[in-house]
């Protein structure tokens, strides 16, 4: 299926890390689904929508976030979701509960005349060898099958432990390991024949101008939703990163 937008509004978000422990951000996302998203031709969520996702079977379809997404999809706004490094177990059950369609990482779209590559971004952080090994492991079908065959309680305990280990590690490793590798960015863009890349993951929102083989190129990094929301608004040739304030 080709994703093609010659004009109109297209929205991109990522790294919401939705978690019951941060209810203001859950409210901000629900508000975004009701207020901004219905005007868009499509909404793209490029990974880490959820802080953790331990399997489609462990989730309640009546949960407000899933119901809110379903309402948007039912209103006719296509909703595309890429898996991140937190919610890599999103599956067909999630698609059925929300009406969203899961996207492979990477995916190419045609956006206002620009062939544009969409990624979560973690695969570009190749300087972090230890993380890349973990990523490789948890993406294997055999590992996922074994994990999903555990009880919900066991899976919750594993996710909790993985989260605290990763938090401890992120505080101790060098800053550059947490960012993308510039060579990986350029070779990936070259490989896919694009001069535009949109990704998240690093929580370093910015619009980077670069040059690839003598041509101007642009890498847009979406922001996380910790203290506020962040959205890339693409409308008729204007691409703007906007902040969203939490309600109340
Ligand atoms: Mn991530």
CB 247 within 8 A of CB 27: yes
Give residue 232's pLDDT: 98
Give residue 1's pLDDT: 62
Q: For 61-84, what is each residue's pLDDT tens digit?
A: 999 999 999 999 999 999 999 999
Q: How many residues does the chain have?
A: 248
Distance 30 CA to ligand 1 centre (A): 21
Distance 84 CA to ligand 1 centre (A): 5
Distance 214 CA to ligand 1 centre (A): 31
Average pLDDT over residues 213-226: 96
Tell me the C-alpha distance between 37 and 12, whole Å. 10
Give residue 167's pLDDT: 85
Distance 174 CA to ligand 1 centre (A): 17
Average pLDDT over residues 45-57: 97
Distance 210 CA to ligand 1 centre (A): 23
pLDDT score of 247 more than 80: no
Distance 34 CA to ligand 1 centre (A): 25
Peptide bond into 106 cis (omega under 30): yes
Give residue 172's pLDDT: 83
In the CATH scheme, what is the code of domain 4-244? Answer: 3.60.21.10
Distance 201 CA to ligand 1 centre (A): 4
Q: For 137-149, what is each residue's pLDDT tens digit?
A: 999 999 999 999 9
Distance 244 CA to ligand 1 centre (A): 20
Give the model's confidence band at 170: pLDDT under 50 very low, under 70 low, under 90 confident, else very high.
confident
Q: For 227-238, what is each residue's pLDDT tens digit?
A: 999 999 999 889
Q: For 96-128, what is each residue's pLDDT tens digit?
A: 999 999 999 999 999 999 999 999 999 999 999
CB 83 within 8 A of CB 120: yes
Distance 16 CA to ligand 1 centre (A): 10
Strand order in the sheet with 107-111: 4-5, 107-111, 114-118, 196-199, 215-221, 206-212
């Amino acid at each position: 299926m080709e994703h093609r937008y010659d004009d109109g509004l297209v929205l991109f978000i990522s790294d919401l890390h939705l978690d019951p422990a941060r209810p203001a951000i859950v409210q901000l996302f629900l508000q975004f689904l009701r207020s901004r998203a219905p005007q868009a031709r499509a909404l793209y969520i490029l990974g880490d929508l959820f802080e953790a996702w331990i399997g489609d079977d462990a989730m309640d379809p009546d949960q407000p976030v899933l119901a809110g997404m379903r309402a948007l999809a039912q209103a006719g706004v296509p909703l595309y979701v890429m898996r991140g490094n937190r919610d890599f177990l999103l599956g067909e059950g999630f698609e059925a509960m929300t009406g969203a369609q899961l996207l492979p990482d990477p995916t190419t779209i045609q956006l206002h005349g620009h062939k544009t590559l969409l990624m979560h971004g973690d695969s570009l952080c190749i300087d972090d060898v230890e993380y890349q090994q973990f990523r490789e492991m948890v993406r294997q079908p055999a590992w996922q099958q074994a994990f999903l065959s555990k009880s919900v309680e066991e899976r919750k305990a594993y996710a909790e432990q993985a989260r605290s280990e990763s938090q401890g590690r992120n505080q101790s490793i060098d800053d550059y390991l947490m960012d993308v590798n510039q060579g990986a960015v350029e070779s990936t863009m070259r490989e896919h024949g694009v001069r535009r890349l949109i990704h998240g993951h690093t929580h370093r929102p910015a619009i980077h101008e670069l040059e690839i083989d003598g041509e101007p190129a642009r890498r847009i990094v979406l922001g996380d939703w910790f203290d506020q929301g962040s959205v890339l608004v693409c409308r008729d040739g204007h691409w703007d990163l906007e902040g969203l304030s939490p309600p109340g």
